[in-house]
Amino acid sequence: MRNIRLNVNGEDHEVEVDPRRLLVHVVREEVGLTGTHVGCLTGDCGACTVMVDDRSVKSCSVLAAGADGACVRTIEYLGTEEDLDPVQQAFLDEFAFQCGYCLPGMLLTVRELLDAEPDPDDAAILQAISGNLCRCTGYGPIVRAVRAAVRSTRGGEGS
Amino acid sequence: MNTSVPSKGTGRVGEAAKKRDGKALLTGGARYVDDVRLPGTLYAAVVRSTVAHARIRRVHTEEALSLPGVELVLTGERARELTEPIPYFIDPVVRGARRVDIHCLESERVVFVGQPVAAVVADTWEGAQRAARLVRVDYDVLPHVLDAEQAMSDDAPRVYEEWADNVVLSKSYGTGDPDGALSSADVVVTGSFRSERTTTAPIEPRGFLARWDAREETLTMHGSCQNPHQLRWMLSTTLGIPENRVRVITEKVGGSFGLKMQGQPEETLVALLSVLTGSPVKWIEDRRESFLAGSRQQVHRFTVGARSDGRIVALVNEIVADAGAMTAQAGWAMPNMSATTFPSGYRIPDCRIDLSIVATNKPPLSAARGFGKDSAHLVMERVVDLVARRLGLDPALVRERNFISSDEFPYRTSTGLNIDSGDFHGLLDKATKSLDYEGWRARQAKARGAGEHIGLGLALELTPESSDSPGSFVSGFDTTTVRMSVTGSVTVLTGVTSPGGGNDTGIAQIVATELGIPLEWVRVVQGDTDQCPNGFGNFSGRSMVVGGGSAALASRDVLRTLTTVGARMLGVERVEVREGAVVDPEGSDSVPVPDVARAVLTRSFEIASEVEPILESTRAYKPGNIDHRPDEHGRIQPYPTYSSCLHATAVRVDAETGKVEIADYAMAHDCGTMINPALVEGQAWGAVVMGLGAALSERLVFDEAGHTVSDRFKSYLLPRASDVPMIRMEHQVTPSPFTMHGNKGAGEAGVGGAQAAIANAVEDALSPLGVLVDRLPLSPPTVLELIRRAKEGRM
């Protein structure tokens, strides 16, 4: 066992972990933030996506000990029910999810994309979200939502 | 339990109200079963058979038990002493099929790789995994069979030694004289089609958290499941706990598509482990376990006869369906629906479908979106295209000539289904226009001149929905309670559940519309057997038909009391309820609904005298058109409604690499009245893409020993965003005469038609090379193989 320090969504946590413990399990079990999901544990589905030091990572493929000292952001950080991030709002407006299980990955990936490239073309959108599996929507509504988020962000800049 | 808090905005029937649980899902606040935390929870892992067929000699538990933190290792032998066999959701005996007893852990003879043989409980998830790997099982290996056609041969190993052969069910459907009609046809086309095994693969796997309270003698089961009431009955039966001491709570379900219907061994197992340890026990399926569940795998051999004008006169089809091992879940029965869905929406009175459902030493089928209907559409639409190709007619024209006309409904098909309504010609028109079918034909001709391969594919999909099976919990009705409080807020408790599709939103829209109140006043509670009336959960596109219908009936009872008392308060004869107020339609007087509710519940000996002071009603809704009395041909009619859709796609095929690119995709969809068009569209879109996966990339691969090789998303290829087109969706509304709102089941249509449209389009693209598409998925190696075979055939 060893002690690690994580800053999760702005709060400092000191956690004692088994060196083999995955970051996703620490975020869900020790930190208690269950918005990050486990879908495959093989790095393929993206439901466990979190931001580690401002880069999206699949937290099932990261040992918690390896993230010692890191700054972790999860879906819970993105926005609240009263104050949704524009990406969340666009997903709501465009019916871009059904069961919601893939949302942590989809939302954080799209947020990361738009932070880096405020006006991505469809190819960039598809490339960004292709690491995240969704079995409900068929992806079209997600692409529509990303386009809407781009429009709303642009509109916001203009006002 | 799922409750949904409304989003603000539009909310009447027919409007695209936002998903009620949307904000909770978007902010990570929704609770799935793995998010439920109970103090003292222990973790279970399942030890599974590593061989496809064997007698179990001995299970060694000592090593696992010696690990620190391990509380229990349960063997099949012990489990068998403590539990009854799992009751079948669809009883094979009632369907004229063979059955076997299925236990939560097998103690004597395993029949597939992955079958549960023991279970481990430890204080951590990792500890349970580690201990499970230390349980060793000695097997006397027996011969196995993995292919359904091989399993039908006389000398095949028997999956169940007590059966005379491996056939689960053998049955013929159809009417007329197909052999006679074939002999008088202008052309006769024969062919075969083989589909591979796929799986549902929701992103959240199955999972349960069981808590046995020894003092209260109650069992609480939190689950990711579709059918809480049936699961309660099942647990009561297997564990011998009175049903009124079992509570099943459905947490937020992370997708299901049929996988999470009850009847799987782990449900009883996890509950038993909690009883034995006296602690809450959680089991979350891992992805490899989830990949054990099969969705479909069939071989069809068909003969179709047609006149030279394209009119199909007869169809004979033999289906061999690979069921894998038997299951108490609904999955084994799916191929039966493949048979009865023929000949879909085509007028073919002379028709015979011979079905064999065959057991093999593969894991069982699990119920899967489409429920067998998808396989019928895949093959039926291939049949229509083959007729067109033989006659040199456009596939669109051959469809037009064979569709049942909209003035013929209700129409009884030769296999017995009574199609309520529809307009298939209208769908074809909409879909081909949306695709620009003529334009693509011109582009195709031009491309062929340049040696490029563009193909067009059409497919009709007729989806019988909201099934009923007598004597079972496959129910064609459901029940809802609508309860208004003294402040006018409304709680809806319904027997139907939502694994993500959003019927809670649709039901709230119906209640708000019926009661004339804002959507925000309505809270919907689903999936808790202690709170909700007896119901049947989610399957067969039933939730809005019967959940919505019963919610409307119950709302109307509440409304009657409100208007009676409201009219008295206003001193008028007749009132209406609009936007949360009881109003006099002749004048300008009104009284807010909460004031009326308060009067009903607090002034029952005064202004509300002689009115029964209750603002609550529980009602069941039974749609029409279901009839289980066999007709003179022995046909029954288990479905009230038949949704329909027509797929039209254009593909480009690279004959060098075998890669299929979907250039365009349109779908015309008709599920009658839409309660919430955005939710309908979302379901249809998702179903299409699930079908595209089966058409192009998804395949469960087994090695010769019966192990699943494609046991992760790296080898079982779900469509990813960059693999699929933006779909254009057109709606057509032919209301069902047999449901309260004129709606038909939505959510399944898409899976079968998409497979068929792609198969037809790829064949059309490669027709200059003489390619015949007789299998799925059309992955690049398969396409190259089909091209190679065509070239060899022509040499």
Helix spans in B240-282 (H): 265-277
Domain closes at, from B259, B290, B321: B290
User: What residue numbers bound the domain in which B505 lies?
Assistant: 2-30+477-621
Q: Are residues B437 and B530 in the same domain?
A: no
pLDDT, tens digit, 9 for 90 and up, residues A83-102: 999 999 999 999 999 999 99
CATH number of the domain that B21 lies in? 3.30.365.10
Domain closes at, from B244, B265, B290: B290
pLDDT, tens digit, 9 for 90 and up, residues A37-89: 999 999 999 999 999 999 999 999 999 999 999 999 999 999 999 999 999 99
- DSSP at B33: G
Please indicate, yes or no, if residue B458 is contained in any of the structural domains.
yes
Q: Are residues B311 and B338 in the same domain?
A: yes
Q: Do domains A2-77 and A79-158 have the same CATH topology?
A: no
pLDDT of B123: 97
Q: Are residues B521 and B389 in the same domain?
A: no
Mean residue pLDDT across chain A: 95
Q: Which residue has the tokens 């909310």?
A: B11
Task: Please give the structure tokens belonging to residue B511.
Answer: 């209640």
Best of B4, B27, B290 to substitute, by most chain A Cβ atoms within 10 angstroms, is: B27
* Mean pLDDT within B210-236: 97
Please indicate, yes or no, if residue B183 is contained in any of the structural domains.
no
Edge-to-edge strands, sheet with B54-60: B109-110, B54-60, B136-141
Select the residue of B125, B689, B721 nearest A130 (Cβ to Cβ).
Answer: B721
pLDDT, tens digit, 9 for 90 and up, residues B304-335: 999 999 999 999 999 999 999 999 999 999 99
Q: Which residues of A touch B202 (CB under 8 A)?
A: 99, 101, 135
* Mean pLDDT within B35-55: 98
Angle at B692 (CA atoms; ends B363, B427), nearest 5 degrees: 120
Give me the percent of chain A exceeding a pLDDT of 90: 94
pLDDT, tens digit, 9 for 90 and up, residues B503-557: 999 999 999 999 999 999 999 999 999 999 999 999 999 999 999 999 999 999 9
Angle at B658 (CA atoms; ends B654, B664), nearest 5 degrees: 55
Select the residue of B204, B678, B681 nearest A39 (Cβ to Cβ).
Answer: B204
Q: Are residues B37 and B25 in the same domain?
A: no
From residue B704, give the alpha-carbon distance in Å to each of B315, B322, B707: 35, 16, 7
| HEC sequence for B134-200 | HCEEEEEECCCCCCHHHHCCCCCCCCCCCCCCCEEEEEEECCCCHHHHHHCCCEEEEEEEECCCECC
Return the exposure string of A105-130: e unless at least 16 CB atoms fall within 10 Å of the residue's CB, then b: bbbbbbbbbbeeeeebeeeebbebbe
Please indicate, yes or no, if residue B185 is contained in any of the structural domains.
no
pLDDT, tens digit, 9 for 90 and up, residues B424-463: 999 999 999 999 999 999 999 999 999 999 999 999 999 9
CATH number of the domain that B109 lies in? 3.90.1170.50
Q: Are residues B508 and B365 in the same domain?
A: no
| Cβ atoms B296, B195 nearer than 8 A | yes
Looking at the predicted structure, is the pLDDT value of residue A159 above 50? Answer: no
Q: How far is A44 from chain B (nearest CA, A)?
A: 6
C-alpha radius of gyration, chain A, whole number? 16
pLDDT of A158: 42
Chain A contact for B188, CB < 8 A? no
pLDDT, tens digit, 9 for 90 and up, residues B113-137: 999 999 999 999 999 999 999 999 9
Domain closes at, from B574, B593, B621: B621
Q: Which residue has the tokens 């009872």?
A: B557
Q: Are residues B486 and B464 in the same domain?
A: no
Strand runs (DSSP E) across B331-396, as ranges? 351-359
Query: Is B500 close to A93, i.e. CB distance below 8 A?
Result: no
pLDDT of B634: 83
Query: Is A100 close to B714, i.e. CB distance below 8 A?
Result: no
Q: Are residues B509 and B531 in the same domain?
A: yes
Cα torsion through B150, B155, B157, B160, rounded to 10: 100
Determine the residue of chain A that is closest to B677 in CA distance.
A95
CA distance B413 to B710: 39
Please indicate, yes or no, if residue B173 is contained in any of the structural domains.
no
Say how many CA atoms lie within 13 Å of A151 toward its Cβ. 11
Looking at the predicted structure, is the pLDDT value of residue B279 above 80? Answer: yes
Return the exposure string of B181-216: e unless at least 16 CB atoms fall within 10 Å of the residue's CB, then b: bbeebeeebebebebbbbbbbbbbbbbbbbbbeeee
Query: Is A25 close to B125, i.e. CB distance below 8 A?
Result: yes
Give the phi and the psi of residue B683 in degrees, each rounded to 5.
Answer: -65, -45
Please indicate, yes or no, if residue B180 is contained in any of the structural domains.
no
> Which CATH code is given to the segment(s) A79-158?
1.10.150.120
Q: Which residues of B touch A44 (CB under 8 A)?
A: 712-714
Q: Are residues B567 and B684 in the same domain?
A: no
Please choose, from the candidates B546, B500, B504, the residue with its C-alpha nearest in 3D space to the C-alpha of residue B524. B504
Domain count, chain B: 3
pLDDT of B3: 66
Q: How far is A56 from chain B (nearest CA, A)?
A: 17
Complex ipTM value: 0.97
Query: Is A130 close to B686, i.e. CB distance below 8 A?
Result: no
Please indicate, yes or no, if residue B165 is contained in any of the structural domains.
no
- DSSP at A27: I
Cα torsion through A81, A83, A86, A91, rounded to 10: 10
Q: What number of C-beta contacts closer than 8 Å exist between A and B?
A: 180
CA distance A54 to B554: 51
Q: Which residues of A touch B724 (CB under 8 A)?
A: 138-140
Residue B411, H or E segment: strand B411-412
* Mean pLDDT within A26-33: 97
A-facing residues of B in 220-279 (CB < 8 A) are 252-257
* Mean pLDDT within B187-212: 98
Please indicate, yes or no, if residue B164 is contained in any of the structural domains.
no
- Amino acid at residue number B339: A
* Mean pLDDT within B74-90: 97
pLDDT of B491: 98
Phi-psi region of B497 (alpha: psi -120 to 50; beta: other; left: phi over 0): beta
Looking at the predicted structure, is the pLDDT value of residue B140 above 90? Answer: yes
Question: Angle formed by the axes of helices B751-765 and B373-391, to 10°?
Answer: 30
Give me the percent of chain B exceeding a pLDDT of 90: 96
Predicted confidence band at B635 (pLDDT cuts at 50, 70, 90)? confident
Looking at the predicted structure, is the pLDDT value of residue B795 above 80? Answer: no
Give the phi and the psi of residue B777 in degrees, each rounded to 5.
Answer: -80, 155
Q: Where are the domains of chain A?
A: 2-77, 79-158
Homologous superfamily (CATH) of A2-77 is: Beta-grasp domain (3.10.20.30)
Q: Are residues B770 and B683 in the same domain?
A: yes
Please choose, from the candidates B276, B206, B272, B277, the residue with its C-alpha nearest in 3D space to the C-alpha of residue B236. B272
Q: Are residues B23 and B81 in the same domain?
A: no
A-facing residues of B in 7-46 (CB < 8 A) are 7, 16, 18-19, 21-32, 34-35
Q: Which residues of B touch A47 (CB under 8 A)?
A: 203-204
Q: Which residues of A touch B682 (CB under 8 A)?
A: 95, 98, 136-137, 141
pLDDT of B378: 98
* Mean pLDDT within B276-296: 97
Please indicate, yes or no, if residue B152 is contained in any of the structural domains.
no
Q: How far is B158 from chain A (nearest CA, A)?
A: 35
Mean residue pLDDT across chain B: 96
* Mean pLDDT within B679-696: 97
Please choose, from the candidates B384, B366, B375, B332, the residue with its C-alpha nearest in 3D space to the C-alpha of residue B159. B332
Please choose, from the candidates B549, B578, B554, B577, the residue with its C-alpha nearest in 3D space to the C-alpha of residue B564. B577
Q: Are residues B444 and B519 in the same domain?
A: no
Give the bridge partners for B591, in sequence order: B582
* Mean pLDDT within B712-726: 97
pLDDT of A154: 79
pLDDT, tens digit, 9 for 90 and up, residues B643-674: 999 999 999 999 999 999 999 999 999 999 99
Q: Which residues of B touch A130 (CB under 8 A)?
A: 720-722
